[in-house]
Amino acid sequence: MRPALLLVMTIAFATAGCTSAERRGQQLYAERGCAVCHGADARGHGPAATRLDTAPLDLTQVRAYRQGASQDEIAASIRNGSGAMPAFRDLSGPEASDIAAWLVSLQQPATRQP
């Protein structure tokens, strides 16, 4: 199967149950280069990940968020930067919020430590 077709099918399947904000967020995540570091699935293994001094976070894991894992907190982290991630001030508040909505939809609950 051709890679472009596979990508389109993967995105279509992944967004089947998404809200419109989540769909816009997933599209903005890809368009704005988030996937270059964090990967298309937001698990922290994008094509540039191995070249970075600090490994990108797996954004599907609630425990990865240093400044909070709610939609508003993630949007603020995107716009203001967090740790090694630079600020993306060129994103509007609603754009950052849509990306955050998609990331929240991917979150897996933190596992409890015994």
Q: Encode pLDDT of 53-107 as tens digits.
A: 999 999 999 999 999 999 999 999 999 999 999 999 999 999 999 999 999 999 9
Is a pLDDT exceeding 70 seen at residue 113? no
What tokens were used for 95? 């754009």
* CA 76 to mean position of chain CA atoms: 13
Distance separating alpha carbons of residues 22 and 102, to the nearest angstrom: 4
Write down the CATH superfamily of domain 19-106. Cytochrome c-like domain (1.10.760.10)
**pTM metric for this prediction:** 0.79
Tell me, what's the pLDDT at 111?
54
Percent of the chain predicted with pLDDT > 70: 80
Q: Domain ranges for the chain, please list them.
A: 19-106
